[in-house]
Chains A and B, each alone.
Chain A
Amino acid sequence: MKEYIGIASRELLHPRGLEMTHLQEILHEMLRLDLDYADLYFQNCCVESWGLEDSIVKSSAYHIDRGVGVRAVSGVKTGLAYTNVLDLAHLKEAAKVAMTISEQGGSKIVQVNQPVEKSSLYSAVNPLNDLTSADKIALLQRVDRIARQADSRVIQVNASIASAYDVILIMSTDGVTSADIRPIVQLSISVVVEEKGRRETGQSGCGARLGYDFIVQHAEKHSKEAVRQALVNLKAGPAPAGVMPVILAAGWPGVLLHEAVGHGLEADFNRKGSSLFSGRIGQEVASPLCTVVDDGTMPNRRGSLNVDDEGTQGQYNVLIEKGILKSYMQDKLNARLMKMKPTGNARRESYAAMTIPRMTNTYMLAGESDEDDIIRSVKKGLYAVNFSGGQVDITSGNFVFTTSEAYLIEDGKITRPVKNATLIGNGPEALGKVSMLGNQLRMDEGIGVCGKEGQSIPVGIGQPMVKMDELTVGGTT
């Protein structure tokens, strides 16, 4: 990865005559004020997408965003300014604006450390150039064909592929000089099926920090999956309303963890005391069955990071171990103020956004139960296989997530599909009611996007099958 610094410098600095020494000078200048930390974040991100509808590839868009963000941190205060013009004059101006956060003189010095040698967790390929335009069109048409051939009730297929090539360069006053190349590819498929005047929809997709090969390999599976899901929903009856046992399938239903505990364990909320997990390290916050980790080191996953957006290496962090709260997810600012260590969770949507603690890939470790035994253990309840998304109020701990494929369980058997329903619970209370865990961990297919303070970033989630003894199901009967 050391060579990334050279690649990033050529792409981001050299075209307008910037050199590494200029960046050091600017950081040095910034430390003449009483700052605890400052960093420069250069980024050049190219995104391309192609969209199919009515069996034709109607649209393609290309987006280029480049700029540099300057951040100045003093005590609890952060100043941010940025510019789209990557030359010395604009960079100096941005630094001057960001520095207005502090008015007192300072005496710290810029540290310079050697970059760490380490191999990349993901491909450095530029996926935009990975496939010809004609092949991208052919790929989407194949998706359309497979979906329409899968069932005659399919009346509409919307499919899109997107890829991004994101090059970043970070330099900070605490000695980090780091670069990363973060490719991402994405496939999204949504179909509409119709039978006797009733219409329903099904979605599927996948993504990874890889080239288009990954999409080509998985396109057929997801085309069929979207249709299958739509057909299940076509048969769905009203969902039940009230408190009942809920079994969450392995994989994507890990959105439960993301909402029920993930956000509540981000350090900013805990430093400020606004999370219901604040000050609870060492306490029991979940059933002893639950071990939850945030893992930025999984190869090729969307949430993975060689380095986070402050240059801290991606890490494997145990958040909850056997029900006991172990640690929060940290960036440098919150770690310093909480006297803890950064954990590789500092992320920003782009150079133009504030850096805040965020999740990477968050999952629960597998348990010991056989999946069939878990289903058999429920007399009357809900089996939730897939979800369309969720949200949490981290202060009260109330979280929701909405099913996109779910079934009734009656007398230990999965009986009939039910319509989309929102499930609602309260973080630690809900995790305290986890009574069985499947013996197989599954991760999501690479479609997770997390929103916080208006910033969207890719994340991963996963879990084994989870049985919760009680959860409120928001159906209509």
Chain B
Amino acid sequence: MSDFDIEKRQTCIRDILDLAVKNGATQAEADVSVEDGYQVNIREGAVDTIGYHCNENLGITVYRGQRKGSVTTSAMDWVSLQEAVIRACQIAEFTQVDPCSGLADANLMATDLKDLDLYHEWNLNTKEAVKLALECEAKAKQLDGRIKSSEGVSVFNFKSFDVYGNTHGFIGSNKDTYQTISCSLIAEQNNRMERDYYYTCSRDPRDLDDIDKVAKQTVFRTVRRLNPQKIQTQKCPIIFEADVANSLISHFFAAISGGNLYRKRSFLLDCLDQSIFPEHINIFERPHQLKGWGSAMFDSDGVATMDKNFITAGVLTSYILDAYSARQLKRQTTGNADGVHNVYVSTSDKDLPQLLREMGNGLLVTELIGQGINLITGDYSRGAFGFWVENGEIQYPVSEVTIAGNLRDMFSHVACVGNDIDRRGNIQTGSILLESMMVAGI
């Protein structure tokens, strides 16, 4: 078990920064992250694995003028830490002068470090976790005769914290908890197996779905996949179900992130103030939400996070920048050094069945496989699983097909976003209806 003494780590970071300065650093930043928890997996009525995890790592980056050196280590005794600092300083003698390097400007450091209610321990020991997981599996297996076997139920129960400080005198910490229950089942019919899963996750165990819902959802998702067919190669409308729709939004974020922009590795270069999505779409960030997945008062540069819109009435209104990429692009950091913090996509008032009716005939995509995204051109081609829809009604499952298009074109043809928001992640969207994509089947 790790101790959760934040003050001790703050002192450690201050000592390390001092040592770096004594060894020639003109600026330095350091962070300590501590994680503690367990993962229990059960399968077919018995324990499969129990893993206990407790990690502590230190990362230090020093600057000698505009030369940079970094070291990370899991050896946390003071001798090893001193070695790490000295090594980082040595590295920074060799790396070359980079005009954009250095800490974020001191005046951008967060001053409001309010608690965002992210820490709620789950007082569940591994024995109790095993019991809960076994109950969940047992419930799931009796719900439908077509469930052939279980891939298992997992329970995660983790707490973590990190402390970040730099030589501007900024020091801040975050402490959070994370719990999940996930269930994976295999259904069989006509000698063909299909697998699917469902999970619930929370920062506060009181917000977890109960195991009845986890069992029921997993069975529903697994059994509905049985007896899939291939479909004809054709152009047709596509709905990305909410839990895969967030992948589309994450491709958008990758394309407007500073690192890809200054490297010219994005299809959305110089697109600020241009229409990317239709007018009915807003995409916005709310970093200070209580209990949020991405909640933070400061980013990994120490810069204050803030509410903002990335897309306002379809128009790109902000990039995603850290201090470094902002200097490269001659702009201001947006406080997103560690990515986005709680993002929401505006929705219509339609639920998924209404969205299916609006589509009429087309493909409802419920799972994507592979990484066929070329961010530099926006070309998109991925394996898909889903359901063929006619006149707004699901007809049969579809597998072994691909969907392809270009992201720029896909974004501008978002016909509707459903109100069936998947709230389990940092990017929250409902199902997304696209006017048309190429489906390759038979």
Taking Cβ atoms with an 8 Å cutoff, the residues of A that contact B are 50, 53-54, 56-67, 75-85, 97-98, 100-101, 133-134, 137, 155-156, 158, 192, 194, 198-201, 239, 241-243, 272-274, 276, 352, 354, 388-393, 395-396, 398, 400-402, 419-426, 472-477
Contacts and interface: CB of A to CB of B under 8 A. Distances in A.
Given A474-B440, A475-B404, A389 B75 contact: no
A476 B371 CA distance: 16
Contacts of B88: 62
Nearest to B230: A472
A419 B193 CA distance: 33
23 contacts: A64-B72, A64-B74, A78-B49, A81-B51, A82-B53, A83-B54, A84-B75, A97-B52, A100-B126, A241-B439, A272-B149, A354-B49, A391-B371, A393-B369, A395-B151, A402-B371, A419-B377, A420-B379, A420-B381, A422-B372, A472-B441, A474-B404, A476-B406
Contacts of B76: 84
B330 interface: no
A194 B264 contact: yes
Query: Do most interface residues of chain B lie in helix, strand or loop, or is the interface mixed?
Result: strand
Contacts, number: 242
A66 B73 CA distance: 8
Given A156-B264, A274-B151, A402-B370, A421 B383 contact: no
B440 A80 contact: no
B50 A426 contact: no
B139 interface: no
Contact of A84 (B56, B369, B403, B405): B56
Contacts of B68: 58-60
B73 A76 contact: no
Contacts of A97: 52
A426 B55 CA distance: 40
A242 B441 CA distance: 6
Which 5 A-B residue pairings sit nearest by Cβ, starting from the closest? A474-B402, A400-B370, A400-B383, A395-B195, A241-B440
B371 A477 contact: no
B94 A474 contact: no
A59 B369 contact: no
B195 A274 contact: yes
Contacts of B72: 61-64
Contacts of B47: 76-77, 101
B194 interface: yes
A81 B97 CA distance: 43
A66 B379 CA distance: 41
B275 to A, nearest CB: 19
A75 B42 CA distance: 13
B55 A200 contact: no
Contacts of A192: 263-265, 376
B55 A84 contact: yes
B438 A476 contact: yes
A143 to B, nearest CB: 14
Interface in B63-110: 68-77, 80, 84, 87-88, 91, 94-98, 101
A436 B23 CA distance: 64
A134 B94 CA distance: 7
A65 B400 contact: no
Contacts of B369: 391-393, 398, 400, 424
Given A199-B377, A395-B195, A420 B49 contact: no
B32 to A, nearest CB: 13
B438 A272 contact: no
Interface string B343-376: 0000000000000000000000000011110101
A424 B195 contact: no
A237 to B, nearest CB: 12
A395 B404 contact: no
Nearest to B196: A395
Nearest to A56: B96
Contact of B382 (A158, A422, A472): A422
Interface residues of B, number: 74
Interface in B254-296: 263-265
Given A57-B96, A62-B70, A421-B372, A243 B151 contact: no
Nearest to A16: B77
A390 B369 CA distance: 8
A391 B370 contact: yes
Nearest to A390: B370
B189 interface: no
A424 B52 contact: no
Contacts of A475: 381, 404, 438, 440
A395 B98 contact: no
A80 B50 contact: yes
B400 A426 contact: yes
A424 B383 CA distance: 6
A60 B377 contact: no
A336 B401 CA distance: 39
Contact of B193 (A59, A78, A84, A276): A276
Contacts of B193: 274, 276, 395-396
A272 B151 contact: yes
**Which has the most chain A C-beta neighbours within 10 Å: B87, B186, B193?**
B193
Given A60-B94, A79-B49, A242-B440, A472 B372 contact: no
Nearest to A54: B98
Given A192-B263, A192-B264, A472-B441, A424 B402 contact: yes
Given A58-B68, A241-B404, A274 B50 contact: no
A346 to B, nearest CB: 14
Interface in B22-77: 43-44, 46-56, 68-77
B48 to A, nearest CB: 6
Contact of B52 (A81, A133, A423): A81
**Which has the most chain B C-beta neighbours within 10 Å: A79, A84, A475?**
A84
A58 B43 CA distance: 48
Contacts of A81: 51-52
Given A156-B263, A201-B376, A424-B401, A477 B438 contact: yes
Nearest to B87: A62
Contacts of A388: 371-372
B370 A389 contact: yes
Given A354-B51, A472-B442, 14 more contacts: A53-B263, A64-B74, A65-B73, A100-B126, A274-B195, A393-B195, A396-B195, A400-B370, A419-B379, A421-B404, A472-B230, A472-B401, A472-B441, A474-B381
B97 A56 contact: yes
B399 interface: yes
A419 B405 CA distance: 11
B233 interface: yes
Contacts of B401: 424, 472, 474
Contact of A66 (B75, B194, B374): B75
A392 B371 CA distance: 12
Nearest to A356: B49
B45 to A, nearest CB: 10
B8 interface: no
Contacts of A155: 264
B72 to A, nearest CB: 5
Contacts of B149: 272-274
A133 B53 contact: no
**Which has the most chain A C-beta neighbours within 10 Å: B49, B192, B382?**
B49
Given A400-B402, A474-B402, A241 B71 contact: no
A76 B48 contact: yes
A364 to B, nearest CB: 21
A56 B96 CA distance: 6
A77 B381 contact: no
**Which has the most chain B C-beta neighbours within 10 Å: A134, A156, A396, A423?**
A396
Nearest to B94: A133
A241 B403 CA distance: 9
B98 A56 contact: yes
Contacts of B71: 61-64
A101 B50 CA distance: 7
Nearest to B439: A241
